[in-house]
């Protein structure tokens, strides 16, 4: 690969699009320290803050998604799209990239469309088991598609599609050796069971309401709870801190949170699912119903159908949570089976495999 490699990456809107793009950039930089990088995101979205924190430059496009409900905001969409296509042309003309990589999100659509029309090498990384509309449209134009799930092959051209997995934090590869450190970090009693509850960085209202409903039950059964409430809900739920329940706005040491847990309750964002496959702990997925294309339910189902996790929709919680969750916590056999099966789905070398594909494109 050429020494003065120039790479544009685009992905944003949520951490599930941003962090894979940063992981890919980090791996390219590790292999090619002289490479130059530019990220392209959507103005006013979280990537404009998170990417510079990771040490990379970013430019913003005036773009957003189409609202699925009838909305006046949709009237601005054609103008935003034209503006974003125009700015994408200028960015590509000025930066002169060797390769353009998209990890999903609003901004990746216009940018990858312009790059592919100019015969620049292009690659998209699809995190979900059911691809979003942007990546489905782009798949006909780009040179390579790196996907996390076999199921996506029915949506993408087979000859372009490689199953690599999703890029995840490298510190998760050794969580099983961090059990003692994790118990010390969270001040846990090693003789008691520990449950970890994850609702995403902002939090999940329905999961928080559920845990609030069962907070006394956790204490009564002496189950230790590491409860990540999320930024939006921490002030509401911090009152539950006690001997067995500890609430956290955000978990800075996710590796130790995973290491401490016997059982995990989690949303089913694509990156979370990939991380949990590597961690290999028994999981109950409660997918968010409020995401495009019902991605989370499809991600969770692709794991639960292989008997590698439990899954409950929000509508099923009132009827089934108690029997499913406490039944899992009380059954070593069930825990071992789920743990064994979910580990078999892990693809721990995803970032490296994706950058291998980037290298092939540029050499070609």
pLDDT per position as a tens digit, 326-364: 999 999 999 999 999 999 999 999 999 999 999 999 987
Q: List, for residues 171-208, the tens digit of each pLDDT value.
A: 888 898 999 999 999 999 999 999 999 987 667 899 99
Note whether 158 and 235 are same-domain residues: no
Mean pLDDT of the 216-227 span: 95
Mean pLDDT for all residues in the chain: 90
- pLDDT at residue 68 in the model: 55
* Local structure of residue 107 (DSSP, 8 states): T
Give CA–CA dist 75/11, Å, rounded.
24
* Per-residue pLDDT reduced to its tens digit, 4-33: 899 999 987 777 788 899 999 999 999 999
Average pLDDT score over residue span 99-111: 90
| Residue with the two structure tokens 């999703």 | 166
72: pLDDT strictly greater than 90: no
Same domain, 150 and 224: no
Are residues 103 and 197 both part of a single domain? no
Element (H, E) at 224: strand 224-228
pLDDT attached to residue 99: 98
What is the token pair recorded at 123? Answer: 């690659």
Task: Let me know whether 286 and 352 are in one domain.
Answer: no
DSSP 3-state assignment of 60?
A: strand
pLDDT at 292 over 90: no
- On whether both 310 and 230 belong to a single domain, the answer is yes
Domains in the chain, number: 2
Is 156 found in the same domain as 29?
A: yes
Same domain (yes/no): 118, 53 = yes
Residue 221 has pLDDT above 90, yes or no: yes
Phi, psi of 44 (to 5 degrees): 70, 10
Compute the average pLDDT of residues 110-131.
93
Q: Residue 78: what are its φ and ψ, rounded to 5°?
A: -60, -35
Do 137 and 250 belong to one domain? no
Mean pLDDT for the stretch of residues 245-252: 91
- Domain membership of residue 1 (yes or no) is no
| Domain assignment of residue 161, yes or no | yes
Retrieve residue 237's tokens: 């739920």
Binned at pLDDT 50, 70 and 90, residue 83 comes out as: confident
* Residues in Cβ contact with 246 at an 8 Å cutoff, skipping those fewer than 6 apart: 186, 224, 225, 226, 227
Q: State whether 338 and 352 are in the same domain.
A: no
Residue 247: CB atoms within 10 Å: 22
Same domain flag for 77 and 114 = yes
Question: DSSP secondary structure string, 172-183?
Answer: GTTGGGGHHHHH
Domain of 186: which CATH number?
3.40.50.2000
Task: Give residue 71's pLDDT.
Answer: 59
Residues 329 and 290 sit within 8 Å (Cβ to Cβ) = no
Q: Does the residue 69 lie in any domain?
A: yes
Lowest mean pLDDT among 123-132, 304-313, 321-330: 123-132
Can you give the pTM of this predicted structure?
0.83
In sequence order, the 6+-apart residues with CB closer than 8 A to the CB of 29 are 35, 37
Examine the domain organization and report whether 61 and 196 are in the same domain: no
Specify whether 200 is located in the same domain as 295.
yes
Question: Domain residues for 227?
Answer: 171-343
């Amino acid at each position: 690969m050429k020494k003065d490699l120039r790479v544009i990456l685009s992905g944003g809107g949520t951490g599930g699009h941003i962090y894979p793009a940063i992981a890919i950039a980090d791996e390219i930089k590790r292999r090619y320290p002289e490479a130059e990088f530019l990220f392209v995101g959507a103005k006013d979205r979280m990537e404009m803050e998170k990417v510079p924190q990771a040490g990379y430059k970013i430019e913003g496009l005036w773009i957003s998604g189409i609202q699925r409900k009838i909305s006046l905001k949709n009237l601005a969409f054609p103008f935003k799209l034209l503006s974003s296509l125009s700015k994408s042309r200028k960015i590509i003309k000025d930066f002169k990239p060797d390769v353009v990589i998209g990890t999903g999100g609003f901004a990746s659509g216009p940018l990858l469309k312009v790059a592919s029309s100019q015969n620049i090498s292009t690659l998209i990384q699809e995190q979900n088991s059911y691809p979003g509309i942007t990546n489905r449209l782009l798949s006909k134009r780009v040179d390579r598609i790196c996907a996390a799930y076999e199921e996506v092959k029915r949506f993408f051209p087979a000859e372009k599609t490689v199953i690599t997995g999703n890029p995840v934090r490298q510190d998760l590869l050794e969580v099983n050796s961090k059990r003692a450190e994790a118990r010390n970090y969270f001040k846990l009693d090693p003789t008691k069971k520990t449950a970890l509850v994850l609702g995403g960085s902002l939090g999940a209202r329905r999961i928080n309401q559920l845990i609030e409903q069962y907070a006394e039950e956790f204490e009564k059964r002496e189950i230790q709870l590491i409860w990540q409430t999320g930024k939006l809900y921490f002030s509401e739920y911090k009152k539950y801190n006690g001997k067995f329940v500890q609430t956290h706005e955000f978990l800075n040491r996710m590796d130790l949170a995973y290491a401490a847990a016997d059982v995990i309750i989690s949303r089913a964002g694509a990156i979370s699912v990939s991380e949990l496959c590597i961690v290999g702990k028994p999981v109950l997925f409660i997918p968010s119903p409020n995401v495009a294309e019902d991605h989370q339910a499809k991600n969770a189902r692709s794991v639960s159908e292989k008997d590698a996790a439990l899954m409950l929709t929000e509508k099923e919680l009132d009827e089934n949570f108690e029997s499913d969750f406490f039944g899992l916590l009380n059954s070593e056999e069930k825990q071992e089976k789920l743990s064994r099966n979910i580990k078999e789905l892990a693809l721990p070398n995803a970032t490296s495999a994706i950058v291998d594909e980037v290298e092939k494109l540029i050499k070609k």
